Structure 1
Amino acid sequence: MAMPCAQNDHAVAERKAPASRTTFGGRMPTAPGDLRIETHGIAPVPEDRRYGGPGRLFTVWFAPNLTMTGVFTGTVGVALGLDFTTALIAVVLGTFVGAAPTAYLGTWGSRTGVGQLPLARLAFGRAVVLPGALQWLSSIAWDALVGLFGGDALAQLCGWPFWLGVLVMMAAQGGLGVLGYEAIHRLQTVMTFLLAAAFAVLAVKLLDGVHPAASGAAHGGDRAGAFVLTFTIALSLSLSWAPYASDFSRYLPAGTSRPRMFWCTLLGIGFSFVAVQTLGLWGASVFTDQTARGIDTLLGGGALGAFGLLAVALAALCSNAMNDYSGSLALQTIGVRLPRPVAAALAAALGFPLVLWMHAADTTARFQNVLLLVGYWIPGFVAIVAVDWAARKRDRGGAPFDLAAESARDRPWWPALTAFVIAFAAAVPFMSTGLYVGPVAEALHGADLAYGVAFLAALAVYAPLRLRHRP
């Protein structure tokens, strides 16, 4: 079903189908602290309804990454046979390389008043249904990746069975996703300080009694392969936010400083992910696939252990609320006429069985497989929307960005779809997961180069096709 996403398209749709107005439009928050339910969906946010400053982008991108998902990801480098220092270098490089596209795309929110997947229609046209569907499925997968640890922590804290802890976690995050944009921003502001304190306590405990791996078991080609795979896993974490980027800046005024937006987002994502992955690297001998139990043991149980478990659960809540919110916008983007709050609740509900599946067998292998597989489509997506954005800037010749005018330009959808599919296909031989190792990755001792290959392939295919079609 076709879906309008620009202002002029919405005007036509509203005259023809009043239901569209209530589905894709709706009540918007009016100021910081307005915690009433945001029913507004993918329709552009008018300039006179914008508010806030770039500083809130730091907290909205910092708090959701202080999760045990990041800690557990940090342990992977040591598990692959790297020493602490080498693995840390791979983590820092991968994290900031992956965070840069997210920070760049996030600056588009204030200029357009539109979320990331709805905005991708400029490049993809009707073919946006493919990345839109992938983003919706990815948001559910991330619910499981993060909810696995949050649900486990909540279950241990309250003495519940695992499934009940996950169920309560999913219900709470779904509730935040229903409340929407402002509730998420306000929660992340508070949680930035609370979670930073909790993880600082954890860091002190680690420094006091746990020693990092001074040497690794991997050597030669295996060591190089392990370094690249650790780099890629760290990159996949921070890059995974790219399809969400402008969702959380679309209410900022159009005149908001774009450099400040970029740096607040980059540093928020980079510092938080590096911090938690460093903890994982340092405490790899303590943290197992049951990291909540590791936290409780490390903190010595009692009140301090309970505080640690609560922090793990709250961190998962922060992250997954954003997954459900962006998932609701992605679902509307592909044409599903569900009100945004209902779509957010649906994403949370679908994440529940996936968490139970990941917990039922080899958690380590299933975690790594899901983590990598949900992100292989993102580099091609980033390359395509970035090239289209640059081409539109060139075509405007210095004129201000006008969403209605840009949306009205008739451009073919097939170049973006072609580049997107080819980019993914080109990456397949370079993939390295527990489910599949491509021939090139196998020859390179498990090094996963698929993300870089997908990005470059999308650029090579899409740029010439896009530049041929001038207005």
Structure 2
Amino acid sequence: MMETISTLEAETIYPIPSERRHGTARDLFTVWFGPNLMMLTVVTGALATTVFGLSLTSALIALLLGNLVGGIFMALHAAQGPRLGVPQMIQSRGQFGLFGAVPITALIVLMYVGFAASNLVLGAEGLQACFPGLGRFEAILVIQLLSAAPAILGYHIIHTAARLLTVLCGLAMFVCLGQVMMLHAPVPAAHAILMAGGEWTGFLRTLSLAALWQIAYAPYVSDSSRYLPAGPESEKYAFLACFSGSVSGSMLAMSVGAVVGLLATEQHVVQALTSLLGGAAVPVILVLSLGIAVANSMNVYCGALSSLTVAQTFTPDRHYGRSARLFITLVLLVLAFGMATLMADRFMATYSEFLELLMSVMIPWTAINLTDYYILHHGEYDVASFFKRDGGLYGYYNVPALLCYLLGIVVQIPFLSTALYTGGVARALGGVDLSWLVSLILVPPIYIAMERYFRVRVLPKGNGHETSL
């Protein structure tokens, strides 16, 4: 029977039993629509018209295309949850092996904590814009407290909060659009011409940014779909619900950001939006700050599951239940809070830049995961092997996957465009980052070829790792 939302979630990284499977695709829509309606998404959308210098028409088209492309990859991961019933990074053992999945999972945890710290800072800025007398520490503490309860209580509270956000933040976003469009007329004729004045560079940069926004959810999207009843229908609706919820929520918030970006002049986007909203600023910014708190709780919750995945690798005989998840959740909350409050502002800026670079390690992982799941295994895995001390059918590590993963990182280097590093090809393209696209195109065929060669040539007598390829 489904546990009540007043108690801690009982399940952690282990398969969800069939009798505890529940929920509908509507729950997945709201869990990806609501939390995307936050200030961070608005600020991201504003980059299209500020940093990348696009007209509003160009910005909206680029943002839409990027979200659609990235959303496909994100939602393909979501469909894995109902089939396997385990968190996403546990399932990665099926591609990389028991120990082979550890470095990637550890990097994902690092990314979660970094995103959580950045979200705390941005959410606090929103509160300070509404209440100028509020100190930075106090503002961060408020966002942290709002983040803590859903992260601690788990799956059901997160879904309940997401349903609330879908209504509140959805209304707030429409208020923003209506207020700005009616009162400030942000689209002069000079901005209505698509691709005028050599906008292609900014267009491609915006498209890549939006695509990466969606792909960033890939390592934990299955964490929210693993409770759905097993079966092809659940898998199909998980894909559709996550895709439509995440893309529509992101586009609504990014559209607000693109419009505000045209009017921000020298102001920060948060301050600009506050000024443009006038009397509606306080309730709208407060609701969007609530949105960032819930999104933050998802980062911490999924970070805890990934941390337990790493721990279970080295202690396979120990069962990690709700108490272990609670402890890890508290540790991650403290780490994120400490980074947001104790470190210097410049450190936080540098760490945010490091997170951009860290995104490049996710792209080959998603390429290998999706290729292995949909093309090589057709979704058929021995879930029990994920938890065996020797890796079961998948062994300690999978050489083709690890080699292709490293290759997928290396081929991105010339195409990377981040604050910390810009490759030669990216510089020649005017700062356009196409590294993610290059890796997604090159890695799958090489991985398929290497898997078939390796299993035929290196494992001729069988070691329990073969499948029908």
Supply the distance in 1 between the matched residues of 2:45 and 2:182 (Cα, whole angstroms): 19
Percent same amino acid among aligned pairs? 29
- Out of 367, 376, 384, the position equivalent to 1:404 is 384
| Alpha-carbon distance in structure 2 between the residues aligned to 1:289 and 1:70 | 17
Q: Is the Cα contact below 8 Å between 2:180 and 2:277 reproduced in 1?
A: no
Match of 1:322 in 2: 298
The answer on 1:295 being equivalent to 2:273 is: yes
Cross-structure match for 1:6: none
**For 2:40, what is the secondary structure of its paired residue?**
helix
Go from structure 1 to structure 2 and tell me whether the alpha carbon gap of 1:361 and 1:84 turns closer, same or farther (over 3 Å shift).
farther
Counterparts of 1:411-450 in structure 2 under 5 Å? Answer: 411=395, 412-450=397-435
Say whether 1:155 aligns with 2:128.
yes
* Equivalent residue number for residue 182 of structure 1: 156
Distance in 1 (CA, whole Å) between partners of 2:347 and 2:96 is 38
Paired residues of 1:45 and 1:251 also in contact (CA < 8 A): yes
- Counting matched residue pairs gives 435
- Report the CA distance between 1:257 and its aligned residue: 2.6
Instruction: Report the alpha carbon displacement of residue 247 of structure 1 after superposing the two structures with TM.
Output: 0.2
1:146 is matched with which residue: 105, 119, 122? 119
Q: Does 437-446 or 256-265 show the bigger shift?
A: 256-265
Give deviations 1:134-172, integer Å, cap 9, x for gaps. 111111122133323211223344541122211221233
Please give the residue correspondences for 1:43-58 in structure 2 after superposition, counting only pairs within 5 Å: 43-58=14-29
Aligned 8 A contact 1:368 1:433 in 2: no
- Greater CA deviation, 77-86 or 410-419? 410-419
- Which amino acid is 2:178 matched to? V
What's 2:241 paired with? Answer: 264
AA matched with 1:250:
R
Give the match for residue 43 of structure 2.
Answer: 72
TM-score norm. by structure 2 comes to: 0.85
1:229 matched to 2:179? The reply is: no
- Which stretch shifts more, 222-231 or 51-60? 222-231
Q: What SS does the aligned partner of 1:81 have? A: coil
Match of residue 380 from structure 1: 364
Structure 1 residue 200: Cα displacement:
0.9
Which residues in structure 2 correspond to 1:4-23 (within 5 Å)? none
Q: 1:274-316, CA deviations, whole angstroms, 9 ceiling, x for partnerless residues?
A: 1111111111144477443333322214xx3220121121011
SS in 2 for 1:257: helix
Q: Deviations over 1:415-455 (max 9, x none)?
A: 21111111111101101122211100001111110111122
Is the contact made by 1:133 and 1:331 (CA closer than 8 Å) also made in structure 2? yes
Corresponding residue of 1:466:
451
Q: Is the 8 A contact 2:58 2:203 kept in 1?
A: yes
Give the counterpart of 2:260 among 270, 283, 287: 283
Structure 1 residues 212 and 130, CA gap change in structure 2 (3 angstroms): farther
Please tell me whether the aligned partners of residues 178 and 342 of structure 1 are also in contact (alpha carbons under 8 angstroms). no
- Aligned partners of 1:148 and 1:359 also within 8 Å: no
In 1, Cα distance between equivalents of 2:299 and 2:115: 7
Give me the whole-angstrom Cα distance separating, in 2, the residues matched to 1:444 and 1:220. 18
Aligned residues of 1:384 and 1:420 also touching (Cα < 8 A): yes
CA contact 1:218–1:226 (8 Å) conserved in 2: no
Taking the aligned partners of 1:325 and 1:147, their CA distance within structure 2 comes to 15
1:281 and 1:366 mapped to 2: Cα distance? 25
Of 161-170 and 182-191, deviating more is 161-170
Find the counterpart in structure 2 of residue 59 from structure 1: 30
Alignment gaps of 5+ in structure 1: 1-29
Task: Provide closer, same or farther for how the CA distance between residues 176 and 214 of structure 1 changes in structure 2, counting only shifts above 3 A.
Answer: farther
Q: Is 2:127–2:285's contact at 8 Å kept on the other side of the alignment?
A: yes
Q: Which SS does the other structure have where 2:261 is aligned?
A: coil
3-state SS in 2 of match to 1:310: helix
Contact 2:417–2:433 (Cα < 8 Å) also in 1: yes
Structure 1 pair 33/192, CA: closer, same or farther in 2 (3 Å)? farther
Q: 1:100-111 counterparts in 2 under 5 A?
A: 100-111=72-83
- Structure 1 contact 213–282 (Cα < 8 Å) conserved: no
Deviation at 1:113, TM superposition (A): 1.0
C-alpha distance in structure 1 between counterparts of 2:339 and 2:201, whole Å: 30
Taking the aligned partners of 1:238 and 1:82, their CA distance within structure 2 comes to 21
175 and 289 in structure 1: CA distance in 2 versus 1, 3 angstrom threshold: farther
